[in-house]
Structure 1
Amino acid sequence: MQYQNISNGSLFANTSVDMLMSSTVLGLCFVLGVPGNLAVMVMLTQHLEGSFTPKLMLSLAVSDLLSLIFLPVWIYALLNGWIFGRGLCKLFSYVVYWSLYSSVLSVTLLSVQRYLQVLYTQRWAKLGGKGQKGLIFGIWISSGALASYALYHRSVEWKKDGRLHCYQDYRNSKEKIAVLLVETLVLCIVPLFSLFCFYLRLHRRISQSASFSSHRLTKLAVRIVVVFFIFSTPCMINNIIVMVSWNSEGNNVTGALFFINSCVNPFLYAFSARALRSKSSQCSDQPQQNQNETE
């Protein structure tokens, strides 16, 4: 994903419209997403006992907040150049990549968790509290490892516009394609495919139920998939274009759009948490009924 060009020059960097659109999108994401994720974090801390879903949503809110909290720095760098040094270029880039990977993996795990909890309740219950904590811990460790290339590739150099830029410095085309391919697979293709498959099965299962909370959960699941698809697809297409066009650079606007996921997530998952708490309550009150439904 070429969101790194938010902070650097590209073929479009001299276009004021591109800069204005990118900075506006990032500014809106910061203004709406930061307080939204903070509010969700406060709300979820009151519902962490017992259920795994609020814990996973809290992890998602933290990762979304981390991806948004440094946006003012990137907006300033987009409009004025990078003035914060090579060390902060690497550090800030790593934190943003880490949080983005964590956010996407959390969304993917949430789809898996919903699928197993609704269709295979007893199997999910066998995982236990330690296993659930291990899954969340594994998300952050895996995300940190996936984002580690930012510490190596990020660099600061003067560009043709006479300003310093924090940018992704590849040694050759093969290295560039390899990084973009991993980003496209992990951040876009695999999550989209997983969300589609798991939620399709989930929709078929709960559509057979007359439960109001089940139908409500279906609608929320569809919204999550649609929002993720809308704002991640432009980045996926942009990455594919960059990989095919060897000398091409990423578009600032498509990179900025990816951050909208982190901005919208707290609103979607706030309602989702309410629906799932209702569903979990029914499951705990009627364990035998749920066991029969899963067989």
Structure 2
Amino acid sequence: MQQENCSNSSQLNDALPVYKASSAVLAICFVLGVPGNLSVLVILVRRLKENSFTLRMMLSLAMSDLLTLLPMPMWIWSLLHDWIFGFVACKIISYVEYCCIYSSMLCVTFLSLQRYLQVLHPQKWAKLGTRGKNGLLCGIWILSGMFASYAPVQRDVGCDQHGFQYCYQHFRNKTEQVATSLFEILLFLTCFFLLVYFYYCLYRGVNESPFFSSNRMTKLVTRIVLAFFIFGVPVTIANILIVVAALLENEMLSVTADLGGKISTALLFLNSCVNPFLYTFSLRQLQRQSTVTETLGPTLQNGA
């Protein structure tokens, strides 16, 4: 289908600035995030012989972020022109991206759980053993694949409501749209509150120890939580607006929410650029913290 068969000039004039802004953000994500995550992968692969679960979790996170960012040129082209890559590519790329975004989200959440157990409850963490830890990693990818299963079903190539031929999310009815948005809202809120809870317990346990206090760790945890919140909240707000627009059957609000969703999704990809700096480049500090706190394990557990 050609663009001239889709275009509505008034809608295109309204939507084009948002599409250009989204494509600019995606371009920044690609230019910064791909080299950053590739560097992280090289560093982590060289250190895999250390047999550290933290390293394997960060490797999984870097792979998720890299796979999320690699299709960016295709999305940028489709935002500025049309989707020319076909129906099958639309579904496959959408599934891979959703799967990797959910995997990244779960990796970040499980890292907070892992740090909490390893530092404050090292004996419980040790009981998991190698099989249990590998099971956690496999579970993250299996859950991510399950969570993303709706993506290829809902993806279609055609004219979106702004007049572009696009690989877009097509809902059969309002119920499906509301259910999808509510699922994404619930998943983000669950991961965010778990992240905050485990890092808060870790922070409290470490800093209540009379032997050790780490301002660096406090700053690192604050940055992790803020990054997760800042990049995840716009998408959640857009989903809330989509639900409200669908329930009220407000077409104008629906168009606004859709445009806001495109920008917030582009911002979400920035998180894949920030993750290497927050986690891998802070790995030395986390490992130093782990060594000290594990030495003080019994004291910390009493303090917690």
The answer, yes or no, to whether TM exceeds 0.5 is yes
Indicate the structure (1 or 2) with the bigger Cα radius of gyration: 2
Amino acid across the alignment from 2:73: P
> In the alignment, which residue of structure 2 is the partner of 1:52?
53
Counterpart residue number, 1:6: none
SS in 1 for 2:279: helix
Deviation at 1:211, TM superposition (A): 3.7
Q: How far apart, in 2, do the equivalents of 1:156 and 1:294 lie?
A: 55
1:235 touches 1:258 (CA, 8 Å); kept in 2? yes
* Structure 2 match to 1:140: 141
Q: What is the letter of the counterpart of residue 119 of structure 1?
A: L
Offset at 1:163? Answer: 4.1
Amino acid at match of 1:57: M
Aligned to 1:294: 301
Residues 208, 133 of structure 1: CA spacing in aligned structure 2 closer, same or farther, 3 A cutoff?
Answer: same
Q: How does 1:31-110 map to 2 (within 5 A)?
A: 31-48=31-48, 49-110=50-111
- Could you tell which deviates more after superposition, 113-122 or 44-53? 44-53
What is the Cα deviation at residue 141 of structure 1? 0.8
CA shift at 1:50, angstroms?
Answer: 3.2
CA gap 1:121/1:158 in 2 versus in 1, 3 angstroms: same
SS of aligned partner of 1:81:
coil
Stretch deviating more after TM superposition (113-122 or 59-68): 113-122
Higher RCO, Cα 8 Å, sep 6+: 1
Query: 3-state DSSP class of the match of 2:61?
Result: helix
Match of 1:168 in 2: 169
- For residues 78 and 179 of structure 1, the distance between their equivalents in structure 2, rounded to whole angstroms, comes to 23
Measure, in 2, the Cα distance between the counterparts of 1:13 and 1:66: 32
CA root-mean-square deviation: 2.0
Q: Which residue of 2 aligns with 1:218?
A: 218
Q: Deviations over 1:6-25 (max 9, x none)?
A: xxx9x788433212211111
Give the Å deviation of 1:115: 1.1
SS of residue paired to 2:167: strand
User: Per-residue deviation at 1:63?
Assistant: 0.3
* 1:276 partnered with 2:278: no
What is aligned with 2:206? 206
Against the structure 1 CA distance between its residues 29 and 207, is the aligned structure 2 distance closer, same or farther, given a 3 Å change threshold? same
**Counterpart contact for 1:121–1:294, Cα < 8 Å:** no
Residue 292 of structure 1 and its aligned partner are, at CA, apart by 4.0
Q: Output the CA distance in 2 between the equivalents of 1:265 and 1:18.
A: 26
Question: 2:5 matched to which residue of 1?
Answer: none
2:152 is aligned to 151
* Residue in structure 1 matched with residue 4 of structure 2 by the alignment: none
Report the counterpart of residue 266 of structure 1 in structure 2: 276
Work out the CA distance in 1 between the residues paired with 2:13 and 2:60: 34
- For 1:3, the equivalent position in structure 2 comes to none
CA distance in structure 1 between the partners assigned to 2:300 and 2:203 by the alignment: 15
> Counterpart in 2 of 1:117?
118
Equivalent residue letter for 1:111: S
CA distance in 2, matches of 1:280, 1:65: 27
How far is 1:161 from its partner?
6.0
Structure 1: which 5+ runs fail to align? 1-8
- Against the structure 1 CA distance between its residues 218 and 47, is the aligned structure 2 distance closer, same or farther, given a 3 Å change threshold? farther
Q: Measure the CA separation in 2 of the matches of 1:273 and 1:13.
A: 47
The 1:62/1:13 distance shift into structure 2, 3 A limit, reads farther
Aligned to 1:131: 132
The one-letter code matched in structure 2 to 1:113 is Q
CA, structure 1 residues 204+290, in 2 after alignment: closer, same or farther (shift >3 Å)? same
Question: Structure 2, unaligned stretches of length 5 or more?
Answer: 1-7
Task: For residue 245 of structure 1, give the secondary structure of its aligned residue in structure 2.
Answer: helix
Moved more, 93-102 or 245-254: 245-254
Letter in 2 for 1:94: Y
Q: Residues 161 and 257 of structure 1: is their aligned pair in 2 closer, same or farther, counting only changes over 3 Å? A: closer
How many angstroms does 1:51 deviate by? Answer: 2.1
1:196 is matched with 196
CA pair 13-81 structure 1, distance change in 2 beyond 3 A: farther
Contact 1:238-1:254 within 8 A present in 2 as well: yes
